């Protein structure tokens, strides 16, 4: 029985993004775990993978990497722009820990949240609402830094009003010598932020796609909705918005450095991010697979070793 043929016949036109090569996606996942470190020709020479044995090791190492960038730019008397995700999240307590240990304040740091839940018109939840990304950042990062925290007027959230201001603000900071560091997770459908794969259908060329800096009320893929139901909404799909405001490749592909994290292992042999990790690394740059561009940038991608597989079916 050819399962791949059955999937194509029943789902390709109605569910999966039309630009996906499902055979290629499957081949990306058909390697033994130790092959994950094999550099591909399109990887930046300074892009590196860091395997972590445990979730706590992952959180500590990723947090240390981000805190080190804040420390280095402070020492260099240089501003730093951080594009910040809400997922992964465990690294934030360790960023706080290291900065407090080193007594490094964040007056030189400019935080830009990469996305936020919205309605189809780009209207977002109130800042203090449980589940909003702004609220999550205040609780996990800005608040715990206390007197070392990023000044409020340097915190940017992806609201209908503020997101369109991102490009000019970032451009002005870059002109002042600021370093742009994008911190990211990888979506189930290979998105970065909420820049979804099916957006590629709207553009005539990859170059046009790469210029897109943000989107208000982005329509999310069903697998993105379900991923977030599992990871953030205690399985309640009905609570997950089908829309979000998000930065685009015109911002994250212009990073001076990237710091990525893949921690989507659920235990008992179950995971949601193994395929996402392998395809990110092996597919090759393609606008239908947004995360495939990240290895073309210098930086590090931390991952839980279980995600390397082997990605073979089993009953759990």
What is the tens place of the pLDDT at every residue in 68-91? Answer: 999 999 999 999 999 999 999 999
CA torsion, points 282, 287, 291, 295, in degrees to nearest 10? 60
C-alpha–C-alpha distance, residues 151 and 155, integer Å: 7
HSE-CB for 255 with a 13 A CA cutoff: 29
| Reported pTM | 0.95
pLDDT digits (tens, 9 = 90+) for 89-142: 999 999 999 999 999 999 999 999 999 999 999 999 888 888 899 999 999 999
CA 274 to chain centre: 15
Which CATH number is associated with domain 48-308? 3.40.50.1360
pLDDT of residue 1: 42
> Domain extents for the chain?
48-308
| Token pair in block for residue 262 | 């893949």
Read off the pLDDT of residues 43-74 as tens digits, 9 standing for 90 and up.
999 999 999 999 999 999 999 999 999 999 99
**DSSP code of residue 213:** -
Average pLDDT, the chain: 95
3-state secondary structure of 167: helix
Which H helix or E strand runs over 259?
strand 257-262
Half-sphere CA count of 220, side-chain side, radius 13 A: 28
């Amino acid at each position: 029985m050819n399962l791949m043929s059955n999937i194509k016949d029943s789902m390709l036109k109605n569910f999966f993004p039309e630009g996906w090569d499902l055979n290629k996606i499957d081949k990306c996942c058909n390697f033994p775990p130790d092959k994950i470190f094999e550099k591909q020709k399109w990887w930046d020479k300074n892009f590196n993978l860091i395997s972590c044995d445990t979730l706590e090791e992952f959180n500590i190492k990723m947090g240390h990497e981000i805190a080190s960038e804040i420390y280095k730019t402070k020492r260099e008397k240089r501003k730093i722009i951080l594009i910040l995700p809400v997922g992964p999240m465990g690294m934030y307590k360790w960023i706080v820990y290291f900065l407090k240990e080193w007594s490094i304040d964040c007056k030189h740091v400019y935080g830009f949240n990469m996305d936020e839940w919205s309605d189809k018109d780009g209207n977002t939840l109130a800042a203090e609402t449980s589940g909003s990304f702004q609220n999550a950042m205040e609780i996990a990062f800005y608040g715990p830094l206390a007197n070392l925290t990023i000044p409020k007027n340097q915190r940017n959230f992806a609201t209908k009003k503020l997101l369109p201001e991102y490009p000019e603000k970032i451009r002005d900071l870059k002109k002042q010598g600021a370093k742009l560091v994008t911190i990211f997770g990888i979506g189930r459908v290979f998105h970065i932020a909420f820049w979804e794969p099916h957006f590629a259908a709207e553009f005539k060329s990859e170059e046009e796609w790469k210029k897109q800096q943000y989107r208000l009320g982005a329509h999310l893929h069903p697998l993105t909705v379900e991923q977030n139901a599992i990871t953030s909404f205690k399985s309640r799909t009905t609570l997950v918005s089908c829309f979000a405001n998000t930065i685009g490749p015109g911002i994250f592909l212009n990073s001076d450095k990237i710091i990525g994290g893949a921690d989507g292992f659920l235990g008992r042999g179950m995971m949601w991010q193994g395929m996402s990790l392998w395809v990110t690394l092996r597919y090759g740059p393609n606008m239908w697979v947004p995360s495939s561009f990240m290895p073309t940038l210098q930086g590090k991608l931390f991952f839980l070793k279980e995600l390397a597989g082997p990605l073979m079916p089993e009953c759990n």
